[in-house]
Amino acid sequence: MSAKVGTPPKHRGPRVDMWTVVIFAGFAIVVVFLIYPLFDIFRYSFLDKVTGSFSLSNWKTFFSKAYYLRAFWHSILIALLTTFFSMVLGIPLAFFTTRYRIRGTNLLNTLAVLALLSPTFIGAYSWITMLGRNGFLRLLFQSIGINLPPIYGAFGIVLADSLQYYPFVSLMTAGALMTIDRSLEEASENLGARSLKTFFSVTLPMVMPSVTGGALIVFMMSLSNFGTPMIIGGNYLVLPTLAYNLFTSEISQTPGMASTVSIILMLCASVVIVLQQWVSSRRKYASMLVNRPIVKQLKGIKSFLAHLLCYSIVFFSTLPLAVIVFYSFRKTSGPVFQPGFSLDSYRQIFFDVPKTVTNSFLYSLTAVLLIATVGTLLGFVIARKRNAAVRVLDPLLMIPYMVPGTVLGIGFIVAFNKPPLILSGTATIIILTYFIRRLPYSVRSAASILKQIDPALEEAGINLGSPPGCTFRTVTLPLMQGGIISGAIMSWVTSINELSASILLYVGKTMTMPIKIYLSVADGYFGTATAMSTILLVVTGVSMFIVNKYFNRGSEVFVSA
Amino acid sequence: MAFIQIVDLEKYFGEVRALSGINLEIEKGEFFTLLGPSGCGKTTLLRTIAGFYRQDKGDVYIDGELINNVPAYQRNTGMVFQNYAVFPHMTVFDNVAYGLRVRKLSKEEILRKVSAALKSVHLEGYEQRTPDKLSGGQQQRVSLARAMVIQPRVLLFDEPLSNLDAKLRIEMREEIRTVQKSLGITSIYVTHDQEEALVISDRIAVMNQGVIQQIGKPWEIYVNPQSTFVAYFVGKINMLTMRLGESAGQGLRRATSGNFSLFVPAEGTEQLHEAIVAFRPEDVAEAVRHDGQNTLSGTLKSVSFMGSVARFELDVEGQEITIDRYRPREADMPQRGASMSFEIPAPSMLLFDPNTGVRIGKGAQR
């Protein structure tokens, strides 16, 4: 131990390390791809359509014409109803699967999450094939003399949305129910309360923060959902579809009304996000898990009814997916389904529009690499380098949470079809949309993984002579790996299923699968639509499987990530 | 100039002053300990030396070099962390080799140095183990080997033993001391455990509220504390606030508290009417007679049997006084409520100014 050990090379002068560059890049991303487009929308909403000068005419129009105001109330109503029904479905499912022995709970959770993660427009479209004008279920019911209400409009949207989004409530509630200290419920029973009384006076209040948290996510998702109301809404306009329609009809002029509607939609979303932050910041009754709740075994008819309830809920949410897969293997001739089975629809995709499939994969993959890299670096900065600049950057990076896809799409078009940065019609703009929409999730998840890694490990690396960048590469990154990859897979799923922003931004050569599905449905080419939807479902399912299998993450990760 | 020199160091966290007026000189090869309660600033000072914190004022020199602007990774200080900070994704070998690889040493040299380091902490044969297969003590040995293998200018210990159980703690502190002496690496050691500090250190700095209270050899800190804080924090001590009376000759002065009085050293008390009179339980002698000078009687309130010592808590005229009896025997143990007499030798007393807590007079004789 007497030989001289070399010291690392010295450098003096201002300390610009790697993280300074990352923080700067974070600000650049926020300014160029969020503030600039959003400010452009804001600006357009105050420009007169004809003269192009400052005016309040768009805002006056919005608040004076029933056509616009109605869409606002529709949005609120749909979101409220969807939230209500998600709770009606989600809370009992959570309670029964966590407190009673229900066979196949894992399968139920997996199917529910698959339905949750699948593109919204697939579910909506499937309900049309079942309950649309010539839907097979409608015809079936008609043959026994029952006339179902028309699926187009509010009924269809709420039906499709509730059956897709209830897992937000059920998984978050289940998570809370599993971590309640058993002794609290036992104390209640010991003090003489019956089980029903205990449920309403002890159990439910304890899990309420989680229920509310899940419900607010549902409200938010439903409010900003574009695919479902677009496909199943018919003339029943909500804010995202109104903005889309206005934008596509204003294409030759300044998009004043579309911008105004976008701002209003964003304001609604912001209110919900603020509420959600408030709810999640309030105290959660997590316990030390000394006494996990008992899972009771039900007997006889009670057990049967509990199983029936749980399986029915999951069955109806998975049914649309099964129908789509089933139809994708039906024989087709042009737009019409024929009796018998074949791979016609798949063949058609690979002969007619292979570019659409490769586009989807290529764009999502590129976006995911960007998201994972940038998200991890920014997550690190937020978790570990809390200086004044980072404290400003942190909330800015969360802006995409409150920007519905439709709004971001409109913002990107108006901002990037003119100098200094022209991106319209390129693949880059679509990849950037995926990137921006997913970035806050990725940053948040990287930051939360880092919170579980002892900072002393990084200090040890630095102390042993390794510069910050090198320490990050050799110590931090290897420890974050699992979390980063499972987060990246989640980003992959949401990117490849993205419709609401990309539908505004695509041109012929940059078409992706979700867009093609939407267009095929609109044109009546159901074969192509079902086959492509099946491909997306398989991609989603396989990704979920990988996360579950190789990263030991439970179903909750899909809700939180 | 001393090997490590810290001049007028000051550090704030927001509005909170974590360190102020820190001046230290540490000699080459010295084992220097920062001792104090949690929140006293000892870890902050250590981390400032390591470069994890930037001081707001003052200078740090190592080996004559001003290192204020040297980033942490170029300071060449080997740190042993409280929770070990052993890289969980690397084997024992890779952990210890980490700093050598950063320094781009040759494979052979790394192998030689790592083997030597592991040998000196008794971990030969553990090279390919992963940290999750190691006990806390073994992990701390890895941490120590990893810090010293880079031959740092100074070894920094941040409460390295606080997560270990009592027996292992004593074993490890002896080992750290042995390794440090055999390598001759200057070391700064942070702990809140006063016994550990006394055993392991060449010198100790006792800290409280961001200020160094006293610097000295373990002996000086214990026998000759310069403030009530140091006296109270290091070892057990009795403290009585007493009124000072007339001189009693022979360098003594009468002091009273309630219904009892003592003769205490007069040196330096001329201006005072009150003083805190302090004495350690082991300096008190149990007395057979009740009328000796400085002999008091009290009622036994509780007994703590600690093996080599029995510690008695007595009530003396409403004051609580602790005295120790060595080599206690069960047959001789007094019962609760028994009356006990004891004598406090005046030379063992330490006097403090009750307003400032500062020592009065020179040294206790021991």
A15 and B CB contact within 8 Å: yes
Classify residue B310: in a domain, yes or no: yes
Specify the pTM. 0.75
Residue A560 has pLDDT above 60, yes or no: no
What is the three-class DSSP state of B242?
A: strand
Same domain, yes or no, for B217 and B105?
Answer: yes
CB A307 within 8 A of CB A102: yes
Residue A253 has pLDDT above 70, yes or no: no
Q: Residue A210: name the closest of A165, A170, A176 by CA.
A: A176
Give the DSSP letter of residue A345: H
Mean pLDDT of A100-107: 85
How far is residue A168's CA from residue A94's CA, in Å, rounded to a whole number?
11
Give the minimum alpha-carbon distance from A18 to chain B in angstroms, rounded to a whole number: 14
B80: β partners: B157
CA nearest to A465 within chain B: B73
Classify residue B107: in a domain, yes or no: yes
pLDDT computed for residue A1 by the predictor: 35
Band of residue A2 on the pLDDT scale cut at 50, 70, 90: very low
CB B237 within 8 A of CB B284: no
Residue A196 has pLDDT above 90, yes or no: no
| ipTM of the complex model | 0.82
Interface test with B, best of A463, A473, A479 (most B CBs within 10 A): A463
Each residue of A294-321: pLDDT tens digit?
778 888 888 899 999 999 999 999 999 9
Give, in order, the Cα–Cα distances in Å from B304 to each of A31, B288, B297, B335, B347.
68, 22, 19, 12, 27
Band of residue B24 on the pLDDT scale cut at 50, 70, 90: very high
Q: Which stretch of DSSP H or E encloses residue A47?
A: none
Residue A94 has pLDDT above 60, yes or no: yes
Each residue of B165-215: pLDDT tens digit?
888 889 889 989 998 998 899 999 999 999 999 999 999 999 999 999 999
More confident residue, A331 or B77: B77
How far is residue A475's CA from residue A487's CA, in Å, rounded to a whole number?
19
- Give the strands of the sheet with B154-158, arranged side by side: B77-80, B154-158, B186-191, B31-35, B203-208, B211-216
DSSP of A489-506, one letter per residue?
A: HHHHHHHHT--TTHHHH-
**Tokens representing A367?**
């976006």
What is the three-class DSSP state of B157?
A: strand
CB B224 within 8 A of CB B347: no
Q: CA dihedral in degrees (B4, B8, B12, B17; nearest 10)?
A: 120
How far is residue A454's CA from residue A466's CA, in Å, rounded to a whole number?
17
How far is residue B360's CA from residue A152's CA, in Å, rounded to a whole number?
93
Report the range of poorest mean pLDDT among A129-133, B15-19, B106-110, B153-157. A129-133
Whichever domain contains B124, its CATH number is 3.40.50.300
How far is residue A354's CA from residue A484's CA, in Å, rounded to a whole number?
30
Q: Which stretch of DSSP H or E encloses residue B72?
A: none
Same domain, yes or no, for B240 and B305?
Answer: yes
pLDDT computed for residue B153 by the predictor: 93
B199: β partners: none
Same domain, yes or no, for B83 and B205?
Answer: yes
Identify which of A15, A457, A464 has the shortest CB distance to residue B102: A464
Same domain, yes or no, for B19 and B132?
Answer: yes
Band of residue B221 on the pLDDT scale cut at 50, 70, 90: very high
Counting DSSP H helices and E strands in chain B, the numbers are 8, 21
Please give the mean pLDDT across all residues of chain B.
91
For residue A101, how many other CB atoms are within 10 A of its CB? 14
| Final residue in a domain of this structure, among B232, B253, B281 | B232
CB A218 within 8 A of CB A89: no
Helices (H), A225-335: 227-232, 239-249, 256-281, 300-328
Classify residue B73: in a domain, yes or no: yes
Classify residue B105: in a domain, yes or no: yes
- Could B82 and A7 be called an inter-chain contact, meaning their C-beta atoms sit closer than 8 Å? no
How far is residue A29's CA from residue A37's CA, in Å, rounded to a whole number?
12
Residue A553 has pLDDT above 70, yes or no: no
Give, in order, the Cα–Cα distances in Å from A343 to each of A125, A348, A352.
20, 9, 14
pLDDT computed for residue A3 by the predictor: 39
pLDDT computed for residue A444 by the predictor: 85
- Could A463 and B98 be called an inter-chain contact, meaning their C-beta atoms sit closer than 8 Å? no
Same domain, yes or no, for B256 and B349?
Answer: yes
The beta strand positions in A433-548, using DSSP E, are none
Domain that holds residue B148: 4-232
Q: Which stretch of DSSP H or E encloses residue A425?
A: none
Give the DSSP letter of residue B84: B
Q: Residue B139: name the closest of B150, B149, B130, B152 by CA.
A: B130
Classify residue B365: in a domain, yes or no: no
Q: Residue A437: name the closest of A119, A33, A45, A123 by CA.
A: A33
**Tokens representing B45?**
């000072």
Residue A8 has pLDDT above 60, yes or no: no
Classify residue B94: in a domain, yes or no: yes
A483 and B CB contact within 8 Å: no
- Could A465 and B78 be called an inter-chain contact, meaning their C-beta atoms sit closer than 8 Å? no
**Tokens representing B71?**
């980033």
How far is residue B228's CA from residue B241's CA, in Å, rounded to a whole number?
12
Give the DSSP letter of residue A14: S
Q: What is the interface size between A and B, counted as CB pairs within 8 Å?
A: 96
- Could A456 and B116 be called an inter-chain contact, meaning their C-beta atoms sit closer than 8 Å? no
pLDDT computed for residue A429 by the predictor: 92
Q: CA dihedral in degrees (A521, A321, A221, A56; nearest 10)?
A: 10
Q: Residue A531: name the closest of A511, A544, A516 by CA.
A: A516
How far is residue A31's CA from residue A9's CA, in Å, rounded to a whole number?
37
Helices (H), B212-318: 218-223, 228-233
pLDDT computed for residue B110 by the predictor: 95
Same domain, yes or no, for B228 and B266?
Answer: no
CB A416 within 8 A of CB A429: yes
Each residue of A404-436: pLDDT tens digit?
888 999 999 888 988 888 888 888 999 999 999
Percentage of chain A modeled with pLDDT above 90: 25
Residues of chain A positioned with their CB less than 8 A from the CB of B72: 459, 462-463
Q: Which residue has the tokens 């550090």?
A: B11
pLDDT computed for residue A557 by the predictor: 54
Q: How many domains does chain B have?
A: 2
Residue A46 has pLDDT above 50, yes or no: yes
| Final residue in a domain of this structure, among B184, B200, B232 | B232
Give, in order, the Cα–Cα distances in Å from B5 to each of A465, A488, B2, B64, B210.
22, 49, 6, 8, 18
Residue A268 has pLDDT above 50, yes or no: yes
Identify which of B72, B83, B151 has the shortest CB distance to residue A1: B151
A388 and B CB contact within 8 Å: no
Residue A50 has pLDDT above 80, yes or no: no
Please give the mean pLDDT across all residues of chain A.
84
Band of residue A44 on the pLDDT scale cut at 50, 70, 90: confident
How far is residue A555's CA from residue A172's CA, in Å, rounded to a whole number?
10
In one-letter notation, the amino acid at residue A534 is: T
Classify residue B267: in a domain, yes or no: yes
B260: β partners: B257
How far is residue A528's CA from residue A519's CA, in Å, rounded to a whole number?
10
Residues of chain B positioned with their CB less than 8 A from the CB of A483: none
For B277, phi and psi rounded to 5 degrees? -100, 120
Band of residue A528 on the pLDDT scale cut at 50, 70, 90: confident
Residues of chain B positioned with their CB less than 8 A from the CB of A7: 74, 76, 103
CA nearest to A479 within chain B: B89
Classify residue B366: in a domain, yes or no: no
How far is residue B209's CA from residue B45's CA, in Å, rounded to a whole number?
12
How far is residue A128's CA from residue A431's CA, in Å, rounded to a whole number?
31
Q: Which residue has the tokens 């990760």?
A: A557
How far is residue A530's CA from residue B156's CA, in Å, rounded to a whole number?
66
Band of residue A85 on the pLDDT scale cut at 50, 70, 90: very high
Residue A558 has pLDDT above 60, yes or no: no
CB B158 within 8 A of CB B46: yes
- Could B76 and A478 be called an inter-chain contact, meaning their C-beta atoms sit closer than 8 Å? no
Same domain, yes or no, for B148 and B196?
Answer: yes
| Final residue in a domain of this structure, among B232, B265, B298 | B232
**Tokens representing A135?**
């839907």
**Tokens representing A406?**
């439709």
Same domain, yes or no, for B99 and B210?
Answer: yes
CB A97 within 8 A of CB A295: no
Residue A420, preceding peptide bond in cis (omega within 30° of 0): yes
Mean pLDDT of A437-453: 86
Same domain, yes or no, for B225 and B276?
Answer: no
Each residue of A120-175: pLDDT tens digit?
888 888 888 888 887 888 888 888 888 888 888 889 999 999 999 999 898 888 88
Band of residue A556 on the pLDDT scale cut at 50, 70, 90: low
A460 and B CB contact within 8 Å: yes
How far is residue A237's CA from residue A218's CA, in Å, rounded to a whole number?
19
Report the range of poorest mean pLDDT among A506-510, A526-530, B104-108. A526-530
- CA B345 to mean position of chain CA atoms: 27
For residue A128, how many other CB atoms are within 10 A of its CB? 20
Band of residue A105 on the pLDDT scale cut at 50, 70, 90: confident
Give, in order, the Cα–Cα distances in Å from B2 to each of A485, B30, B42, B233.
51, 11, 20, 28
B323: β partners: B312
Band of residue A4 on the pLDDT scale cut at 50, 70, 90: very low
Same domain, yes or no, for B218 and B243?
Answer: no
How far is residue B26's CA from residue B8's CA, in Å, rounded to a whole number?
15
- Could B102 and A15 be called an inter-chain contact, meaning their C-beta atoms sit closer than 8 Å? no
CA nearest to A17 within chain B: B71
**Tokens representing B280?**
């350690």
Q: Which residue has the tokens 């310069």?
A: B226
B296: β partners: B342
Whichever domain contains B346, its CATH number is 2.40.50.100
What is the three-class DSSP state of B343?
A: strand
A477 and B CB contact within 8 Å: no
For B325, phi and psi rounded to 5 degrees? -125, 125
Q: Which domains does chain A have, with CATH numbers?
A: 38-328 (1.10.3720.10), 332-561 (1.10.3720.10)
B216: β partners: B204
Report the range of poorest mean pLDDT among A10-19, A317-326, B248-257. A10-19
What is the three-class DSSP state of B8?
A: strand
pLDDT computed for residue A76 by the predictor: 93
Residue A6 has pLDDT above 60, yes or no: no
pLDDT computed for residue B164 by the predictor: 84
- Could B52 and A459 be called an inter-chain contact, meaning their C-beta atoms sit closer than 8 Å? yes
Give the DSSP letter of residue A201: I
Same domain, yes or no, for B146 and B290?
Answer: no
Same domain, yes or no, for B110 and B59?
Answer: yes
CB A130 within 8 A of CB A320: yes
pLDDT computed for residue A251 by the predictor: 63
CA atoms lying within 13 Å on the CB side of residue A270: 10
